[in-house]
Amino acid sequence: MPGWRPVLGIRGHQLVDKESAVNGKSSFAMAGTVVTLTTALCLGSAPFHAVADDLRDQALAEHNTARARHGAAALTWNDALTASTTEYAKQCKFAHSDHQGQYGENLYASENPDTSVRDATDAWMAEAAGYDYDQPRFSPETGHFTQMVWKATTSVTVAVVNCPAGTIFSQPSVYVVARYAPQGNIAGQFAENVGRPS
C-alpha cells in the first residue's frame, strides 16, 4: 500500500517492528509504567504566546475528547509542569525522565515535520484496541492509552519541539512530551480508572 512502510517502534522498552502511515516518515511512541505527553511543533514566525495558546487548546481538546468517550472528566492545563516539560523535551532524548512518580509521561516522535498533537494522541489512543477491560491492568502495549483516559488524572501539559538530525532519528524530527498529574497507571487501580468506551 503506498505511503505505508515498516518503521522501528519502541514499546515497553523493547524494540518492535510495526507499520506506520505518516507520509513515509518514521514515527514511534514509548510507553512506560507511567505515561505523559510532550509534543513538538514548528514555531515558525508566529508569536510565542499565540503558538503556546494554540498548543494548549489543541492538547486539551484532543485529550478531553478521548477522555469523554471513556467516562473521564476533562483535564485542565498544568502550568506548574510546563517549564520543566519544555526543558526536558528540548534535550531531544527519547527516554522517560527521572520523575519518580511525580507525574505520568507519554512520549512521541516523528520525522514528519507536520507532526501535531493529534498525531501523538491518535497513536496513543490506537492502543485502546489492545486493552482488556475484563482483566484491567498495566501493559506496555496500552500504557499511553490508559494514562490518557485515567479518571484520577486531572491535568496535563504538552511540549512540542523540533529536534536536530542525529538525536532521536537520523533525520530532523518533532518530539512530543506530555505530562499528567496526578499520574496514572497505578497497579490495582485500573478497573476504577479506565472506563469502557461509550
Q: Which region, left, alpha or beta, applies to residue 131 given φ > 0 means left and ψ of -120 to 50 means alpha? A: beta
What are the structural domain ranges in the chain?
32-193
Nearest to 55 by CA among 6, 105, 1, 121: 121
The cell for 84 is: 520543566
Confidence at residue 68, expressed as pLDDT on a 0 to 100 scale: 99
Report d(CA 67, CA 181) in Å as an integer.
15
Confidence at residue 81, expressed as pLDDT on a 0 to 100 scale: 96
Confidence at residue 179, expressed as pLDDT on a 0 to 100 scale: 98
Per CATH, domain 32-193 is 3.40.33.10: yes
Confidence at residue 1, expressed as pLDDT on a 0 to 100 scale: 33
The cell for 86 is: 519544555
**Percentage of the chain modeled with pLDDT above 90:** 72
Report d(CA 53, CA 38) in Å as an integer.
15
Confidence at residue 41, expressed as pLDDT on a 0 to 100 scale: 34
Task: Judge whether 135 and 162 are in contact, CB under 8 Å.
Answer: no
The ranges of the chain with pLDDT < 50 are: 1-50
Q: Which residues contact 109 (CB under 8 A, 6 or more apart)?
A: 27, 28, 29, 40, 94, 163, 168, 169, 173, 174, 175, 176
Q: Which residues contact 68 (CB under 8 A, 6 or more apart)?
A: 74
Report d(CA 7, CA 86) in Å as an integer.
26
